[in-house]
Amino acid sequence: MAGPTVVADPAAAESRGAEREWPSTGAAYWALTVIVLATFLTFFDAVTFGMLAERIKHDFGLTDSQLGFLAGPASIICYLFVGIPLARLADIYPRKYVLAGGAAVVGVIISLGGFAQTFVQFVGSRVFLAAGGSAHAPSSYSLLADAFPPKKLTRAFALLQFGFIGGTTLGPLIGGALVVMTANWEPAQLGPLTIRGWQWILMFMGLPGLLVGLLFLTVQEPVRLAPAADAPKVPQGAGLGRKILTFMGLDALRAINAKPRVYYPLFGALALSAVEVFGLQFWRVPFMIRTFGWNEQQIGAALGITVLAGSLSGLLLGSVLVEWLAKRHKDANVRAAAICFAGTTVSSIAAILMPTAWGSMILFGFSGMFGLAGAVPQNAAVQRVAPNDMRGQVTAFYLFMFTFFGAMGSFVVGRVQDVIIGDPTQLWKALLITACTLLPLATFLMIRAIKPYREEVERLEAAGL
């Protein structure tokens, strides 16, 4: 049911192996195009939701901790219990159907969030939103890894970042303008429901997800590589309990734990950086409002410029850096990510300390540049070493670190602000504390991952994989 597979040639290391059947160039790039559109909608929603932060806080009477919880932990409560099993579907069923269903569900749930009447209902919408979208990255990464040959995979992941660039660029521009436009709208009554002006933004923002779900049905499902001979397998005749454990990720965890020196530093670095990056991303708008007195439209326009410039520069920097390092090092992916982590650390801390609004915005752009430049080699690195028959779940666990700890970022900053700092006008101090604590540790772990990753790549090449 997962579609056709092709068996790897064990003699490939000596004979270079038989040519694997790859989709046509047109089919591969069409799949990438639809995935880019779905990724765009994901980040557009996240950024626009961040633009609504102060409005949501005011209308629902929230503390900074509650606001941080709504933006972060509320979105990942179901991820471990839903995201990992859905990623298993990407390993055993055609991935285009998993992606189609996820995109449609996300669109519906985003729209439903516009009808929320209480804080609890809003939390519920963010919970189910994350559950619906949790299969997107594992399924899309797995599909791309089977649609593009290894030498072109890094390029595909680089082009995938246009979804991120579009969402994070148009999100502030369009989202900021819409927030200001709807600010003075009188609440509307839809039966027993009171709809605030900004909630109309959410209602209409979910509709494109249904269209993207239909587009996924037109994607060609690529041929999968058959499992390696030594890959963990469910024992024949295994009971229902054992099969459920496999569906929940047991064998993928075994594969990860079998190579702790390779995976653990990568996972740890991603987790620590995600807390700070996502926390800073969410609180960036309140930071600019409270520190410099800008409104959402001013912030959105400035972010649109700096994010676009930083993202395009990051895409170029990441591609050039990886290709240059690849001529000299087999660990180019992780080595490039470590360099970019260092750049993100310096830029983020400096942005918070800038005495002017535009100074902060420009350095936020540099932080985004290094962040995007490092994202491409990170993703390619995991796809290179993950077992092909459980790539979806291994990727899901990797992205769980990104999603879970990233979602905790807004809450962590909110708690530091409420418990340690106290004064809402001094939000920059909370951001500085978390940045100075987490980003240097993340950079250190990524550096530690370089050697074991190189050794694993050399082992795979020797095995003809």
| pLDDT band at 363; cut points 50, 70, 90 | very high
Placement of tokens 């990942």 in the chain: 76
List the Cα angle 29/32/37 in 5-degree steps.
130
Round to the nearest angstrom and report the end-to-end CA distance of the chain.
24
Sign of CA dihedral 440, 442, 448, 449: negative
| pLDDT band at 432; cut points 50, 70, 90 | very high
Amino acid at 7: V
Average the pLDDT over 387-409 and give the result. Answer: 74
Q: Give yes or no for residue 426 having a pLDDT over 70.
A: yes
In this prediction the pTM is: 0.64
Give the per-residue pLDDT at 10.
Answer: 37
Average the pLDDT over 287-315 and give the result. Answer: 85
Least trusted range by pLDDT, from 110-124, 312-326, 362-376: 110-124
For residue 391 the two structure tokens come to: 């790539």
For residue 43, the tally of other CB atoms under 10 A from its CB is: 18
Higher pLDDT, 89 or 25: 25
Give the per-residue pLDDT at 453.
Answer: 92
Give the per-residue pLDDT at 18.
Answer: 45
List the Cα angle 301/412/138 in 5-degree steps.
75
**pLDDT tens digits for range 163-201:** 878 887 787 778 778 888 887 888 888 888 888 877 888
Full 3-state SS string of the chain: CCCCEECCCCCHHHHCCCCCCCCCHHHHHHHHHHHHHHHHHHHHHHHHHHHCHHHHHHHHCCCHHHHHHHHCHHHCCCHHHHHHHHHHHHHHCCHHHHHHHHHHHHHHHHHHHCCCCCHHHHHHHHHHHHHHHCCHHHHHHHHHHHHCCHHHHHHHHHHHHHHHHHHHHHHHHHHHHHHHHHCCCCCEEECCEEECCCHHHHHHHCHHHHHHHHHHCCCCCCCEECCCCCCCCCCCCCCHHHHHHHHCCHHHHHHHHCCHHHHHHHHHHHHHHHHHHHHHHHHHHHHHHHHHCCCHHHHHHHHHHHHHHHHHHHHHHHHHHHHHHHCCCCCHHHHHHHHHHHHHHHHHHHHHHCCCHHHHHHHHHHHHHHHHHHHHHHHHHHHHHCCHHHHHHHHHHHHHHHHHHHHHHHHHHHHHHHHHHCCHHHHHHHHHHHHHHHHHHHHHHHHHCHHHHHHHHHHHHHCCC
Residue 462, burial from CB neighbour count under 10 angstroms (0-12, 13-18, 19+): exposed
Q: What are phi and psi of 190, to 5 degrees?
A: -115, 90
| pLDDT band at 73; cut points 50, 70, 90 | low
- Residue pair 68/407 in contact (Cβ under 8 Å)? The answer is no
Placement of tokens 């993340």 in the chain: 442
Q: Give yes or no for residue 236 having a pLDDT over 50.
A: yes
Q: Whose CA is closest to 353, among 247, 253, 436, 267?
A: 436
Q: Give yes or no for residue 17 having a pLDDT over 60.
A: no
Higher pLDDT, 109 or 288: 288
**pLDDT tens digits for range 237-254:** 556 665 665 655 667 777
| 371: CB partners within 8 A, 6+ apart | 277, 314, 340, 344
Strand partners for 225:
6
Give the per-residue pLDDT at 6.
Answer: 43
Give the per-residue pLDDT at 405.
Answer: 82
Give the per-residue pLDDT at 76.
Answer: 64
- Residue pair 157/380 in contact (Cβ under 8 Å)? The answer is yes
Least trusted range by pLDDT, from 156-170, 332-346, 443-457: 156-170
**pLDDT tens digits for range 313-334:** 888 888 788 888 988 888 889 9
Give me the helix-helix angle, 260-292 and 250-257, nearest 10°: 100
Placement of tokens 């708690």 in the chain: 415
Placement of tokens 């997107």 in the chain: 136
Task: Give the Cα separation of 54 and 61 in Å (integer).
Answer: 10
Residue 189, burial from CB neighbour count under 10 angstroms (0-12, 13-18, 19+): exposed
Average the pLDDT over 407-412 and give the result. Answer: 80
Task: Give the Cα separation of 176 and 169 in Å (integer).
Answer: 11
For residue 384 the two structure tokens come to: 């290179």
Q: What are phi and psi of 9, to 5 degrees?
A: -80, 115
Q: Give yes or no for residue 424 having a pLDDT over 80.
A: yes
Name the percent of the chain lying above pLDDT 70: 83
